[in-house]
Chains A and B, each alone.
Chain A
Amino acid sequence: MRAWLIQNLHSLRTALDRLTATPMASLFTILVIGVALSLPTGLYLLLANLQKISGVVNTETEISLFLKLDTSPEQARTLSNTLQKRPDIRAVRFIDREEGLRQLQANGLGDITAGLPGNPLPHTLVVTPRAPDAAGLESLAAELAKLQQVDRVHMDAEWARRLSALMGLGRDLVAMLAVLLGLALAAITGNTIRLQIYAQRDEIEVARLIGATDRFIRRSFLYFGAIQGLSGGIAAWLLISLAALLVQDSVSQLAASYGTSFLIAGLTWQESGILLATSTLLGLLGAYLAVGHTLRSLNIP
């Protein structure tokens, strides 16, 4: 057990030595892996942030029912109470037409109505649906529009549906990119390992002649692949964090122009862990595939 540990530590050190023996080449390889990984990771992060925004918006999705002008406040209240009892509606808020006018004036928009003889606003019911998915919203809105006292229904369902479709497309893209660039990572690692093996040909031959098992020879190269993958993962993590930091300023400005604030969410600990574990495993996989094949092709007895 102790010997096994020492042998593994030695292989690890050998791998690190080889990686640092050619610092520039290693750095570039790691950078390439980092960039390849940061693409799907970055897109994933973008989606996660969009989801965060749309999540906030979605829970606030409301359907405004503008009632006919001849509806009395009592009728409006009765309708409100009826709607309140529906299972697919969470809340109904009644806005009296006088109150609507006051709100308008309070928002500094009183000028618009100042020249008019009477209050142009109808009574309004603001309905908060219970299941705010795009399809459910649509059918609910259509149903409400058929009510007798309702003049017009206002809802922004279209953009919610488009966003949801767009997010679905985005998720597919992330998955595809992740698979493609994961393959690329394994290929890059495999290729560097192949070059490593050719460079270490003498050493492998000597080791083999004095009784090294294939496993012994393979081990340091597997460590090499894993370390390279891990380093690439770390590079990707740094690139993503840097990008998030750079974009934060303009996002804040954009959010400010909408009167809100928005903080870009970076990778969580868990997501960072998955990123690093995946890159390490892919590096290991690339190394594993390359080592077996290349060692056989060297044809060392």
Chain B
Amino acid sequence: MIEFDRVTKRYPGGHEALTEVSLKIAQGEMVFLTGHSGAGKSTLLKLTAAIERPTSGQIIVNGQNISRLKRAAMPYFRRNIGLIFQDHKLLYDRSVFDNVLLPLHIQGLTGHDAAKRVRAALDKVGLLKREKARPITLSGGEQQRLCIARAIVSRPALVLADEPMANLDDAYATDIMDMFRAFNQVGVTLVISTHNLDLIRRYGGRMIALDHGKVTSS
């Protein structure tokens, strides 16, 4: 599903976020990315979603070589990936429902079918009753769940989550982990970055540890 081959990412200014990273994640896996902040977790996720380009090395996601991906092909590549952001990136000028509708709308899906899928996604994250609310009126945990609903509504094969449990209390974090496990059970590949080692120990699963841009264990 994901293959990194000696990938280095150097930002302008010389900071090297990832150094010669090689790893493989198979389809259907649920993988935790750990490491202190600044270890390169976010960079690794961004490279996987083609939000950033590697300085050197090769990345293959879903059978596609990211470095050779043309700008015009990017949208179609991204539609197979559900992205969950630490800062949610919700749109505050529209309802909860419309936020989740956006990915479907972008793919040209509208009407009853789309509405049904939006409600199904909202139901999965327990926000069905808030569909008319504005995201700003939701709590931090609810906003995170809304972000998850938006990521899964288009049924992607791969979900990338950047610190989805950050700033959430334990009850919410457990909730979200249960959700992720449920997705994984229906075949979705998940890569989740976190520094909450307790949680990983409790749930188990493969762990890739990063330290100063290098993979220390995987």
Contacts and interface: CB of A to CB of B under 8 A. Distances in A.
A209 B77 CA distance: 10
Interface stretch (A167-175, A211-219, A248-256): A211-219
A58 to B, nearest CB: 61
B75 A213 contact: yes
Interface string A2-18: 01101100100000000
Contacts, number: 58
Given A202-B89, A202-B91, A206-B102, A7 B108 contact: yes
B112 to A, nearest CB: 12
B111 interface: yes
Chain B, interface residues (CB within 8 Å), range: 20 to 34
Nearest to A9: B110
B181 interface: no
A210 B50 contact: no
B168 interface: no
B106 interface: yes
A206 B91 contact: yes
Nearest to A5: B110
B78 interface: yes
A6 B91 contact: no
Contacts of B89: 202, 205-206, 209
A257 B89 CA distance: 72
B108 A207 contact: no
Given A203-B91, A211-B103, 15 more contacts: A4-B108, A7-B108, A207-B106, A208-B75, A209-B49, A210-B79, A210-B150, A211-B77, A211-B79, A211-B154, A212-B75, A213-B75, A213-B106, A214-B71, A301-B51
B107 interface: yes
16 contacts: A3-B108, A7-B110, A10-B110, A203-B91, A203-B93, A205-B89, A206-B91, A207-B102, A207-B106, A209-B51, A209-B89, A210-B78, A210-B102, A214-B71, A301-B51, A301-B52
Contacts of A214: 71-72, 75
Contacts of B50: 301
A18 to B, nearest CB: 10
Interface string B59-94: 000000000000110011111000100000111010
Contacts of B132: none
A210 B106 contact: yes
A14 to B, nearest CB: 10
Nearest to A10: B105
Interface of B: 49-52, 71-72, 75-79, 83, 89-91, 93, 102-103, 105-111, 150, 154
A209 B108 CA distance: 16
Interface string A47-68: 0000000000000000000000
Contacts of B108: 3-4, 7
A6 B111 contact: yes
Given A205-B89, A301-B50, A301-B52, A6 B106 contact: no
A3 B109 contact: yes
Contacts of B105: 7, 10
A277 B93 CA distance: 32
A211 B103 CA distance: 7
Interface string A275-288: 00000000000000
A216 B72 CA distance: 12
Interface in A180-236: 202-203, 205-214, 216
B11 to A, nearest CB: 14
Nearest to A7: B108
A127 to B, nearest CB: 74
A4 B111 CA distance: 12
A213 B71 CA distance: 9
Contacts of B71: 214
Nearest to A21: B93
A209 B75 CA distance: 8
